[in-house]
Amino acid sequence: MLVSETVDQASGLRQAARSKPVRVIAVTSGKGGVGKTNIAVNLGVCLSSMGKEVMLMDADLGLANVDVMLGLHPKLNLSHVIKGECSLEEVVVIGPEGLRIVPASSGLQAMVELAPAEHVGIIHAFSEFSIPLDFLIIDTAAGLSDSVVSYTKAAQEVIIVLCDEPASITDAYALIKLLSREYGLHRFRVLTNMVPDIQAGRSLFQKIVKVTDRYLDVALDFIGVIPNDEYLRKAVQRQKAVSDAYPRCKSSLAFKKLAQKADSWPMPASAGGRLEFFIERLIMASQHGTGVSL
């Protein structure tokens, strides 16, 4: 075989890999302190343990903590990509079960105040990422910032994390209301965290459904609970994913069920499921501020 033919075949294989549909899941919440990052990390680890190719992007650009949660010490992060000092592939670090992690930079005010075009620049780097993925998980910041809106609008699936606190419920409602009325999102998946059992989780879910059914035109899908678990707290102290440190504890089993459920969600059409499509959606979300219906 000629060298030129080998090069052409390799190029074709890379192109085929890049056209592979990718499920993009944004994990978000109305307020901080509800365990959003823990959920994003463990969902990613469990999907990876199922043989999926998964990348987790820490999009909490001001208070990044995915790397801290896993005891990682990356030398490069998204701020270096923004400055043009390295590629996205050079930033990626490997976590448990082969989970690929894109770390952000914590405590840098400049990262909090990125212009929309700079947010687009971050995601545009994904268009040059050559490793085929099954899932891209976005760990957003909490609240109603422009970056939260942009990432959730660009994702195909939005997981709202809810815990049994009045502020968590009211702030989650405010986020759903904003995304629905101002940006055209009408379907959300709700995960209840730090609850005693499935019954308590369903009860908590019904509290927010009662309000959204009355005032908003949205569909909320209850996708389960992550129970209170002392082993989850131990894992956080050890800077490990609980699904990796204590795979048989009750929270780990809940994360495995969540991963299996996420894997069963409809696969995006190949024409609209590539990372490039995610980039296009994010550009629209950042530049035009118009709704992108999921």
List strand residue ranges (DSSP E) for the chain, in order: 23-28, 54-59, 93-94, 100-102, 135-140, 157-162, 187-195, 219-227
Torsion sign, CA atoms 242, 163, 165, 105 = positive
pLDDT in tens, 170-209: 999 999 999 999 989 999 999 999 999 999 999 999 999 9
Give the DSSP letter string of 226-256: EE--HHHHHHHHTTS-HHHHSTTSHHHHHHH
Structure letter (DSSP) for residue 22: -
Q: Is the pLDDT of residue 279 over 60?
A: yes
Instruction: Find residue 159's DSSP bridge partners.
Output: 27, 189
Could you give the angle at which helices 166-181 and 146-154 cross, rounded to 10 degrees?
70
pTM above 0.75, yes or no: yes
Domains in the chain, start-ordered, CATH in brackets? 21-287 (3.40.50.300)
Q: Is the pLDDT of residue 249 over 90?
A: yes
Please tell me the distance from the alpha carbon of residue 32 to that of residue 28, in angstroms, as a whole number. 9
